[in-house]
Amino acid sequence: MKRHIITLILALAALTATAQHDEQVTVEGKYRPKVNKVNKLVLQPETPQPNYNIPSSEVNPIEAKQKFTLDLEKIAPTGFAAKKDQLVIPTNNFLMAGIGTRLSPVFLYKHNSMLTKTLGLGVGVKHNSSWLNIKNYAPSGYMNNLFDINLTTSKFDGFQVDGGVYYKNDMYHYYGLNRSEFPVSLTDTQIEALCPRQTYNTIGGHLGLSSTSTRMAELTHSGSVDYHYTFDAFEAKEHSIELDYGLGYTQNWWGDKSHPQKAGLDLGFQYDGFKLGDNETENRILFKVNPFLEMSDEFYKLHLGVRIDGTTNVAPEDKFLAVRPDLSGSIFVLNKKLEFYAGLNGGRKLLRFSEIVEENPFYSCNYLPNHSFGVFRSRNVKLGFEGGVRTNIVDIVDLHLGVRYRHTDNDPFYQQNKATVALPITTGTQFPIWNSYELVYDETQTVSVLINARVRLRNSLTADLGFAYNNCKPSVEEYAWYRPSTESKLKLTYDLNDKLSFNSSLLYQGGRYAKVWNDGPLAKYPPRFSSEKMKDVFDLSLGADYKVNDQITAFALLDNVACQKYQLYYNYPVTGIQLFAGVKLRF
């Protein structure tokens, strides 16, 4: 009788429970491994070990990077596994070098090794740039650099410590100006003034501490601190500090001894300070307290918690404490190959300057009068629900169907910067970033439907399919600017033999709208905003890898085969077809 009551309670809880997500609804975690390999919570802490991760070897020029919002790795939980689902053999060094048709170099190097039995070292370097100007609009180019180094040690009794530092440099020569459509003739000097080079630099570091104890009835601890400092070419500066601490206690309070329960508490603190030129620093603080209880059995797993968070900010809507549910539950049937999950969640997330320009490097806050406070707010999910089913009943197919709902305050959207449009053209005057963007916030309700599938045929052909339909309704704005209503991705990988393999990727995105000025930059009366439906995205890429030997692989990629010059943001189109070629080395 007791077991039947517990089963009924869990079934009801699973209909109103899910893992907490602070990110946008379209951001999901990894889907694989199979359901039957994740059928219960690991309630006892596992000893962390230094691991080697082969970096992504996909060619990633800036325009491909800008497509990250179109990639279903941002939309759906499908995670592309290693070739033929085999484990990657660890190696000390991985290097990829290539060049594109615009003389665009691509370089990636990753080193991992154990300096001693307890001390691991990792070093990484990335670079890609455009040596030739992109002349679709005004002359432009880009350059991206990243260097990181980290150390991991398990020398401390009962704990493992990992830490590292990184430096990132991104340069963009803006080209949001169509010379052929501009109403007046501009000299190269004026174009350079209207479309300057913008540079973002970020310096950061991480230090983490995690318990290696696996004993029952013992407190386990974990903590981390992250620091980021970002500054640009126009005297915008941001300091960010994040502190996280977790405390857990595992015990058999009831039920099977092989399925203990875990009580825990997660604490978080974040400080973000933004300053533009000589203006005052905008200081924001976010804190969270998240107590929870986890339990599992052969046929279910359950997470019961609550999130309490608050922010300090000059924006009135951010000055209060909020309590959100943190509930997640799953039920497994058919020999644990079918999982039903559901849940409730919510919470705040600080919108940071560094994250905004990573998503949209054409953003600029230089024209804000006296830099009024509240430019960067906290995105507040007042209530979230998600549910769905995951299954691999058929061995060759992994399938995930899901639905999401989010009621969000301070949901950010991009619109053209009003000040840049209103400025007149004056010879010799420097105008930072002519066609730039600013943020506008709104309250939204979003419903999303996700479908993801992975099909493996004959151990040589793999197809990954993702589809998402998003219905986002803002309270004030006419549309959810630049957010697609439909997006999908199909990725095919085919191994012809042990040496030669092919891959293809197709991206589609439709239903996007831009908020633009309808009167142009030379209007004699106050300009007005209007909506414009953007061209659907259709992007096809074809690639091939030829394995020379166990250490050397040659690759080639033909990007945007259909030569579609769709716009990522209004007046910022991607270029047409590109060819990349190079080698990958493992040694």
Structure tokens at 512: 């996007």
Model's pTM, two decimal places?
Answer: 0.81
Q: What is the DSSP letter of 420?
A: H
pLDDT value, residue 60? 60
Strand partners, 508: 488, 538
SS3 track for 217-259: CCEEEEEEEEEEEEEECCCEEEEEEEEEEEEEEEECCCCCCCC
Burial class (CB in 10 A: 0-12, 13-18, 19+), 125: middle
Spatial distance between the Cα atoms of 267 and 512, rounded to a whole number of angstroms = 38
**CA–CA dist 272, 250 (Å, integer):** 34
Cα pseudo-dihedral 523, 529, 532, 537, rounded to 10: 100
How many CB atoms lie under 10 A from the CB of residue 227?
16
> Does residue 267 contact residue 309 with C-beta atoms inside 8 Å?
no
Q: What domain range includes position 303?
A: 2-586
Give the pLDDT score at 419.
59
Which residue, among 492, 490, 487, 483, has the nearest Cα to 508 in the 3D structure?
A: 487
Rounded to an integer, what distance in angstroms lies between the CA atom of residue 491 and that of residue 503? 7
Beta partners for 110? 94, 124
Element (H, E) at 188: helix 188-194
- Per-residue model confidence (pLDDT) at position 32: 27
C-alpha 335: how far from chain center: 34
Number of structural domains, the chain? Answer: 1
Q: What would the two tokens of residue 61 be? A: 């020029």
Q: Which residues have CB under 8 Å from 275's CB, separation 6+?
A: 236, 237, 238, 281, 282
Enumerate residue ranges in the chain where pLDDT < 70.
1-91, 134-139, 175, 178-184, 193-194, 313-319, 366-374, 418-434, 518-527
- Where residue 336 sits, what CATH number does that domain have? 2.40.170.20
- Cβ–Cβ contacts within 10 Å for residue 187, how many? 9
**What is d(CA 542, CA 501) in angstroms, rounded to the nearest whole number?**
11
User: What is the predicted pLDDT for the residue at 18?
Assistant: 33
CA distances to 34, 262, 343, 461 from 291, in Å: 29, 11, 17, 45
Q: What is d(CA 406, CA 400) in angstroms, rounded to the nearest whole number?
A: 19
Tell me how crowded residue 492 is: count the other CB atoms within 10 A of its CB.
Answer: 16
Rg of the Cα atoms in the chain: 25
Residue 493, φ and ψ in degrees, nearest 5? -130, 130
Q: Are 414 and 572 in contact (CB under 8 A)?
A: no
> One-letter amino acid identity for 208?
G
Q: What is the pLDDT at residue 180?
A: 67
Identify the residue whose tokens are 């190097």.
Answer: 109
Length in residues, the chain: 587
Residue-wise pLDDT for 177-201, tens only, equals 766 666 667 777 777 766 777 899 9
> What is the residue-wise DSSP string for 25-76?
TT------S-GGGSSS---SPP-------PPP-S---HHHHHGGGTSTTTTS
Three-state SS at 279: coil
Decide if 466 contacts 446 (C-beta within 8 A): no
What are the C-alpha distances in Å from 124 to residues 146, 149, 164, 168?
8, 6, 11, 12
* Residues paired with 203 in a beta bridge: 167, 229
Question: Do the beta carbons of residue 220 and residue 45 sit within 8 Å?
Answer: yes
What is the predicted pLDDT for the residue at 69?
46
Cβ burial of 320 (10 Å; 0-12, 13-18, 19+) is exposed
